[in-house]
Structure 1
Amino acid sequence: MRNGFRMLISLMLMSLAIASSCLHAESAQPDSGAVERTAVPTVTLLDRPIVSLRATVAGVSPEVRRDRAEANLASLNRTELALPVQWISTSLGGDTGVAFRIGNHLVFSYVANDREPGDSTPFDADVRNVADRLQQAMAARRDQMHWPVLIRGAALTLLATALLGMLGWGIARLRAWAYAGMQRILEAHLLSRTSRGFDWTGTAYHLARQLVQLLALCLFTLLLYLWLIFVLERFPASQPMGSRLGAFLLGMLNRIALACVEALPGIITAIVIFLITRAVHAMVNNIFAAAVRGRLDLPGLHQETAGATRRVVVLLVWALGFVFAYPYLPGSQSDVFKGLSVLFGFMITLGSAGIVNQLMSGMVVVYSRALKRGDFVALGENIGTVVSIDTLSVKLVNVRNEEITIPYALVVASPIVNYSRHASDLGALVATTVTIGYDTPWRQVHAMLLAAASRMKHVAMTPAPFVVQRALSDYYVEYELMVAIADPTLRPLALSSLHAEIQDEFNRNGVQIMSPHFMAQPEEPVLVKPGQWQGSGYGGT
Structure 2
Amino acid sequence: MLKNIMFILALVLSLTGGQTAYAAPSPQPAAGKEEVVQTAPVRVDGAVLFTVRGLAAFTAHERARNIAGRITSIAGDRAVKPESIVAVETEQATELRAGTRLIMYVFDDDAEREGVSRQMLARAYVGKIQAAVEVYRRDRDTRSIAWASGSALGATLVFVALVQLIRFLFRKLLSLAEKRYALKVRQLQEKSHDIVRTEGIWTVFKGGLRAARIVIILILAFFYIDVVLHLFPWTRAFAVPMLDLMLTPLRSIGRAVLEYLPNLAFLIILVLVARYGLNLLRAFFLGVHHNRITFTGFEPAWALPTYKLARLAVIAFTVVVAYPYIPGSESPAFKGVSLFLGVVFSLGSSSSIANIVAGYMVIFRRAFKVGDRVKIGAQTGDVVEMRLQATHLRTIKNEEIIVPNSLIINTEVVNYSSLARKGGLILHTSVTIGYDTPWRQVHAMLLLAAERTPGLLKEPKPFVLQTALNDFYVGYELNVYTDRPLEMVKIYSDLHQNIQDAFNEFGVQIMSPHYLGDPSKAKIVPKEQWSPAPAKPEQKT
TM range (shorter): 0.5 to 0.7
2:161 maps to what in 1?
A: 170
In the alignment, the residues of structure 2 paired with residue 64 and residue 278 of structure 1 have an alpha-carbon distance, to the nearest angstrom, of 59
2:134 maps to what in 1?
A: 146
1:296 maps to what in 2?
A: 295
Q: Residues 378 and 384 of structure 1 are in contact (CA less than 8 Å); yes or no, is this contact kept in structure 2? A: yes
- What pairs up with 1:473-512 in 2 under 5 angstroms? 478-512=475-509
Structure 1 pair 212–251 and aligned structure 2 pair: CA distance change class (3 A): closer
Q: Residues 281 and 307 of structure 2 are in contact (CA less than 8 Å); yes or no, is this contact kept in structure 1? A: yes
Identity, % of aligned pairs?
Answer: 26
Q: Residues 427 and 485 of structure 1 are in contact (CA less than 8 Å); yes or no, is this contact kept in structure 2? A: yes
Structure 1 pair 270–184 and aligned structure 2 pair: CA distance change class (3 A): closer
Q: Residue 418 of structure 2 aligns to a residue in which SS?
A: coil
TM-score by length of 1: 0.64
Q: Residues 85 and 96 of structure 2 are in contact (CA less than 8 Å); yes or no, is this contact kept in structure 1? A: no
Shift of 1:164: 1.4
2:55 maps to what in 1?
A: 53
Q: Residues 84 and 135 of structure 1 are in contact (CA less than 8 Å); yes or no, is this contact kept in structure 2? A: yes
Shift of 1:421: 1.3
Structure 1 pair 496–174 and aligned structure 2 pair: CA distance change class (3 A): same
- What pairs up with 1:436-451 in 2 under 5 angstroms? 436=433, 445-451=442-448
Shift of 1:313: 1.4
Q: Residue 91 of structure 2 aligns to a residue in which SS?
A: strand
Shift of 1:273: 1.4
Deviations 1:400-439 (A, max 9, x none): 8x58463544755764322221224432211123344566
**Residues 1:328 and 2:329 are matched in the alignment:** no
1:267 maps to what in 2?
A: 264
Shift of 1:51: 3.7
Name which of structure 1's ranges 154-163 and 526-535 shifts more when overlaid on structure 2: 154-163
Structure 1 pair 385–136 and aligned structure 2 pair: CA distance change class (3 A): farther
Q: Residue 430 of structure 1 aligns to a residue in which SS?
A: strand
Q: Residues 466 and 474 of structure 2 are in contact (CA less than 8 Å); yes or no, is this contact kept in structure 1? A: yes
1:406 maps to what in 2?
A: 402
Q: Which runs of 5+ in 1 are unaligned?
A: 1-39, 90-98, 113-121, 189-198
Give the residue type in structure 2 aligned to 1:296: F
2:183 maps to what in 1?
A: none
Shift of 1:367: 2.1
Q: Residues 42 and 52 of structure 2 are in contact (CA less than 8 Å); yes or no, is this contact kept in structure 1? A: yes
In the alignment, the residues of structure 1 paired with residue 342 and residue 500 of structure 2 have an alpha-carbon distance, to the nearest angstrom, of 64
**Residues 1:421 and 2:418 are matched in the alignment:** yes
Shift of 1:154: 5.0
TM-score by length of 2: 0.64
Q: Residue 369 of structure 2 aligns to a residue in which SS?
A: coil
- What pairs up with 1:77-476 in 2 under 5 angstroms? 78=81, 82-84=85-87, 86=89, 88-89=91-92, 99-102=93-96, 125-126=112-113, 139-146=127-134, 149-150=138-139, 157-158=148-149, 160-161=151-152, 163-174=154-165, 177=168, 214=214, 218-228=218-228, 230-231=230-231, 242-285=239-282, 288=285, 293=291, 295-297=294-296, 301-329=298-326, 356=353, 358-379=355-376, 385-386=382-383, 388-391=385-388, 394=391, 402=398, 404=400, 406-409=402-405, 415-436=412-433, 445-470=442-467
In the alignment, the residues of structure 2 paired with residue 247 and residue 63 of structure 1 have an alpha-carbon distance, to the nearest angstrom, of 17
Deviations 1:475-505 (A, max 9, x none): 7654332111243344233222221122123
Shift of 1:86: 4.2
Name which of structure 1's ranges 76-85 and 442-451 shifts more when overlaid on structure 2: 76-85
Deviations 1:287-330 (A, max 9, x none): 646766474346xx444433312221122213322342344356
Shift of 1:227: 0.4
Give the residue type in structure 2 aligned to 1:484: Y
Structure 1 pair 336–173 and aligned structure 2 pair: CA distance change class (3 A): farther
CA RMSD of aligned residues (A): 5.6
Q: Residues 448 and 506 of structure 1 are in contact (CA less than 8 Å); yes or no, is this contact kept in structure 2? A: yes
Shift of 1:272: 1.7
Structure 1 pair 283–297 and aligned structure 2 pair: CA distance change class (3 A): farther
Q: Residue 426 of structure 1 aligns to a residue in which SS?
A: coil
Shift of 1:130: 11
Shift of 1:354: 7.0
In the alignment, the residues of structure 2 paired with residue 274 and residue 183 of structure 1 have an alpha-carbon distance, to the nearest angstrom, of 27
Structure 1 pair 414–480 and aligned structure 2 pair: CA distance change class (3 A): farther
Q: Residues 433 and 473 of structure 2 are in contact (CA less than 8 Å); yes or no, is this contact kept in structure 1? A: yes
Q: Residues 229 and 235 of structure 2 are in contact (CA less than 8 Å); yes or no, is this contact kept in structure 1? A: no
2:31 maps to what in 1?
A: none
Equivalent residue pairs, number = 464
In the alignment, the residues of structure 1 paired with residue 247 and residue 316 of structure 2 have an alpha-carbon distance, to the nearest angstrom, of 40
Give the residue type in structure 1 aligned to 2:131: D
Q: Residues 143 and 149 of structure 1 are in contact (CA less than 8 Å); yes or no, is this contact kept in structure 2? A: no
Give the residue type in structure 2 aligned to 1:221: A
Q: Residues 507 and 524 of structure 2 are in contact (CA less than 8 Å); yes or no, is this contact kept in structure 1? A: yes
Shift of 1:378: 3.9
Q: Residues 52 and 60 of structure 2 are in contact (CA less than 8 Å); yes or no, is this contact kept in structure 1? A: no
In the alignment, the residues of structure 2 paired with residue 312 and residue 498 of structure 1 have an alpha-carbon distance, to the nearest angstrom, of 47
Structure 1 pair 327–261 and aligned structure 2 pair: CA distance change class (3 A): same
In the alignment, the residues of structure 1 paired with residue 471 and residue 525 of structure 2 have an alpha-carbon distance, to the nearest angstrom, of 25
In the alignment, the residues of structure 2 paired with residue 325 and residue 108 of structure 1 have an alpha-carbon distance, to the nearest angstrom, of 60
In the alignment, the residues of structure 1 paired with residue 235 and residue 325 of structure 2 have an alpha-carbon distance, to the nearest angstrom, of 44
Structure 1 pair 315–41 and aligned structure 2 pair: CA distance change class (3 A): closer
Structure 1 pair 489–162 and aligned structure 2 pair: CA distance change class (3 A): closer
Give the residue type in structure 2 aligned to 1:365: V
Structure 1 pair 352–437 and aligned structure 2 pair: CA distance change class (3 A): farther
In the alignment, the residues of structure 2 paired with residue 446 and residue 495 of structure 1 have an alpha-carbon distance, to the nearest angstrom, of 18
